[in-house]
Amino acid sequence: MSRALSRSFLFVPGDSERKLLKAETSGADALILDLEDSVASNRTALAREQVLSYLHAHRRRESQIWVRINPLSTPAALLDLAVVAGAPDGLVLPKVDSAADVVRLANMLDALEVRDGLSSSSIAILPVVTETPASLFSAGSYSGCSSRLAGLTWGAEDITTALGASSNRELGGEYNHVCTLARTLCLAGAAAAGVQPIDTIWADFTNIDGLVEEVRQARQRGFTGKLAIHPAQVEAINFAFTPSAEEITWSLRVVKAFEENPGLGTLALDGKMLDMPHLKQARRILATVHKLA
């Protein structure tokens, strides 16, 4: 199933009425109403109720609304599935070990969609694929696991804690080796599965320059979206993942150059060599424009 492309996914703690309200005007392509780590355990029940009412109140929506449930290994996850009745666009599944967890959730959703009168396979799944030590060995397992799979994303905090490490950064501020590996596995795993690779959060939310640099690098590497934790981050993320006027012009020229020379696998444009990877890149940029329109 082909799913919409989302550039920005804004986390909103599910128990915060104030943030839920603020989220409406954030401009994020997708909201992720959180029932997991940003909600204190004594407020989870309240958060479930608020999230479900929010979904009901936003049946017709401009932004996608996702819900992050608790890990499937916990009883809380099953209670979280009450939100399915509100027809979320998708569920974010944290702390997966492999694609088998996605398949388990997909099977549950098959039943719940029937119960709640929703179209079959309407609820997508976005797993967080690097939060457990085991998950690092199965990032390549997601291809073909479920038509609900919309993307893969990753997290730096939980894997750091799970490994008993005290920091996920090097002295210079860049991610350490484990996190760099996790980020790359997420990217390659998503490409192998043919779904969106979505970069993790930038936690230092008052440092917009740092975010701009990280999101620029993420896009250059192949990510097509990024998680956000604060409304002030949304604009920079949307901007970075929107093809610029120059990129669109270049792409149109590349496609045209190949169309006009059907017998050529390589040709020159503005004094530079072009071959198949450039044509694919140009087509991908134009497809992104089309999907965002």
Which residue type does 18 have? R
SS (H, E, C) 14-56: CCCHHHHHHHCCCCCCEEEEECCCCCCHHHHHHHHHHHHHHHH
Q: Is 37 a binder of Mg ion (CB under 5 A)? A: yes
Place of tokens 């969106």: 196
Choose between 15 and 158: whose C-beta lies nearer to Mg ion: 158
Please report where in the chains the tokens 């992720």 appear, as a residue: 32
How many residues in the shown chain lie near Mg ion by CB under 5 A? 2
- Which residue, 230 or 278, is less far from ligand COA as judged by CB? 230
Q: Is 81 in the site for ligand COA (CB under 6 A)?
A: no
158 vs 214, beta carbon nearer Mg ion: 158
For residue 139, what are its two tokens? Answer: 């990032």
Q: Provide the 8-state DSSP code for 84.
A: G
Task: Name which of 140 and 231 has its Cβ closer to ligand COA.
Answer: 231
**110 near Mg ion, judged by CB under 5 A:** no
From ligand COA, Mg ion, none, which one binds at residue 158 (CB under 5 to 8 Å depending on kind)?
Answer: Mg ion
Strand, helix or coil for residue 154: coil
- Applying CB under 6 A, which part among 11-19, 49-57, 90-98, 210-218 lies near ligand COA? 11-19
* Distance from C-alpha of 36 to C-alpha of 43, rounded to nearest angstrom: 10
How near is the Cβ of 285 to ligand COA at its closest, in Å? 30
Burial of 107 (0-12, 13-18, 19+ CB in 10 A): exposed
68 labeled part of a ligand binding site: yes
Q: Does 49 bind ligand COA (CB under 6 A)?
A: no
List residues bridging with 30 in a β-sheet.
Answer: 9, 64
Q: Which is nearest to 285 in space by CA: 244, 256, 238?
A: 244
List 34, 158, 199, 214, residue binding Mg ion (CB under 5 A): 158
Give the residues lining the site for ligand COA (CB under 6 A): 10-13, 18-19, 22-23, 34, 37-38, 201, 205, 229-231
Give the residues lining the site for Mg ion (CB under 5 A): 37, 158
User: Residue ranges for the binding site for Mg(2+)?
Assistant: 131, 158
User: Residue ranges for the binding site for substrate?
Assistant: 68, 131
